[in-house]
């Protein structure tokens, strides 16, 4: 009954037993009623406490909302991009239940040396306007070059057909990872991509500590997780098969491809790129918002 106590690890049955030992017999259902009247519920911990704060958080969210509205109204692509948690191929346990006729046996320890030596890096692209997702499965490293190659592959196979008249693409991404807003190597690789696509790309980063608001998290990744729940990723084909099954009643469709290229880590932007710096930084929060247009040599 102390005000500073916000949870208990005792079950209703254990509470009833301890009360009985103290001379107050009570049934388990009565304990549940009392707990409910005191505001105690069975709850799961939620990731709601931010690890930090960003001073211009609200201004950037408003800016992103305006950009999305403008692009969607003009029929231009709005793409949310992010990398999902990597998975290791092998007979490893994964949480979730499946309908089976017998026990599914997996290794009792998740040591990666017990697997097949490969990791799968799912890089996702979510088309906000069309409610269509695409996952490229990489087997190397999550680098800026990998992210840009993933976007290029999506554009060649899906984006170009869906937006034949596209003049610009709005790219929504987090502030860190392979598309870190502080790293010029991402901007350099993105400029090379823009030159190949021959359309401009406007980038808007979600503020630091706000990655969960990126549309791809709640519109695509959560459904991919659900589709793969309990599945043992023995091979890359198994991953492809079950990721492609992700869908919703509101019409979400998901396509899957693979990128088998090996990517170099710890790359730095070249002195030539830094000296010319063709990136156009916007007046509104330029660190998080910028435009890249095709450069012809």
Pick from 173, 179, 180: nearest CA to 213: 173
| Alpha-carbon span 271 to 250, nearest angstrom | 48
Contacts of 246 (CB under 8 A, 6+ apart): 133, 220, 223, 224, 226, 227, 228, 252, 254
User: Mind listing the pLDDT tens digit for each residue in 254-263?
Assistant: 999 999 999 9
Are 72 and 9 within one domain?
no
User: Mind listing the pLDDT tens digit for each residue in 26-55?
Assistant: 999 999 999 888 888 887 777 777 778 899
Task: Tally the residues of the chain.
Answer: 297
Are 139 and 183 within one domain?
yes
User: Is 51 within the bounds of a domain?
Assistant: no
pLDDT > 90? residue 233: yes
Looking at residue 102, what is its pLDDT?
Answer: 86
User: Is 48 within the bounds of a domain?
Assistant: no
- State which residues form the domain around 119: 57-292
pLDDT > 80? residue 8: no
Per-residue confidence at 252, pLDDT binned at 50, 70, 90?
A: very high
For the residues 225-253, what does the mean pLDDT come to?
Answer: 94
User: 92 or 168: which carries more pLDDT confidence?
Assistant: 168
- Domain holding 151: CATH number? 3.30.420
Are 94 and 25 within one domain?
no
Q: How many structural domains is the chain composed of?
A: 2
User: Is 104 within the bounds of a domain?
Assistant: yes
Are 92 and 195 within one domain?
yes
Are 212 and 275 within one domain?
yes
pLDDT > 70? residue 76: yes
Are 36 and 97 within one domain?
no
Are 76 and 202 within one domain?
yes
Q: Residue 119 pairs with which residues in a beta bridge?
A: 88
Are 123 and 248 within one domain?
yes
User: Is 52 within the bounds of a domain?
Assistant: no
Evaluate whether 139 touches 120 at the Cβ level (below 8 Å). Answer: yes
pLDDT > 90? residue 108: no
| Alpha-carbon span 253 to 130, nearest angstrom | 9
User: Mind listing the pLDDT tens digit for each residue in 121-175?
Assistant: 999 999 999 999 999 999 999 999 999 999 999 999 999 999 999 999 999 999 9
User: 237 or 2: which carries more pLDDT confidence?
Assistant: 237
Are 35 and 65 within one domain?
no
pTM of the model: 0.85
For the residues 265-269, what does the mean pLDDT come to?
Answer: 96
Per-residue confidence at 4, pLDDT binned at 50, 70, 90?
A: low
């Amino acid at each position: 009954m102390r005000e500073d106590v916000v949870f208990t690890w005792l079950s209703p049955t254990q509470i009833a037993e301890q009360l009985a030992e103290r001379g107050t017999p009570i049934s388990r259902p009565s304990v549940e009623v009392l707990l409910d009247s005191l505001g105690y519920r069975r709850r799961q911990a939620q990731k709601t406490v931010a690890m930090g704060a960003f001073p211009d958080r609200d201004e950037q969210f408003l800016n992103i909302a305006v950009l999305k509205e403008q692009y969607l109204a003009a029929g231009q692509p709005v793409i949310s991009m992010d990398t999902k948690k990597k998975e290791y191929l092998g007979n490893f346990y994964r949480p979730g239940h499946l309908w089976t006729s017998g026990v599914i046996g997996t290794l009792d320890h998740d040591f990666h040396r017990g697997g097949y030596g490969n990791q799968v890096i799912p890089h996702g692209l979510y088309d906000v306007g069309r409610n269509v997702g695409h996952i490229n499965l990489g087997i190397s490293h999550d680098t800026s070059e990998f992210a840009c190659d993933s976007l290029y592959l999506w554009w060649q196979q899906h984006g170009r057909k869906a937006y034949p008249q596209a003049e610009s693409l709005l790219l929504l991404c987090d502030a860190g990872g392979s598309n870190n807003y502080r790293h010029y190597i991402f901007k350099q690789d993105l400029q090379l991509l823009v030159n190949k696509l021959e359309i401009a790309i406007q980038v808007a980063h979600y503020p630091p500590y706000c990655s969960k608001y990126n549309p791809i998290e709640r519109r695509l990744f959560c459904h991919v997780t659900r589709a793969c729940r309990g599945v043992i990723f023995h091979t890359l084909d198994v991953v492809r098969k079950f990721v492609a099954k992700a869908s919703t009643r509101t019409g979400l469709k998901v396509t899957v491809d693979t990128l088998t290229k090996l990517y170099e880590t710890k790359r730095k932007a070249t002195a030539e790129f830094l000296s010319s710096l063709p990136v156009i930084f916007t007046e509104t929060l330029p660190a998080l918002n910028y435009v890249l247009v095709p450069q012809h040599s």
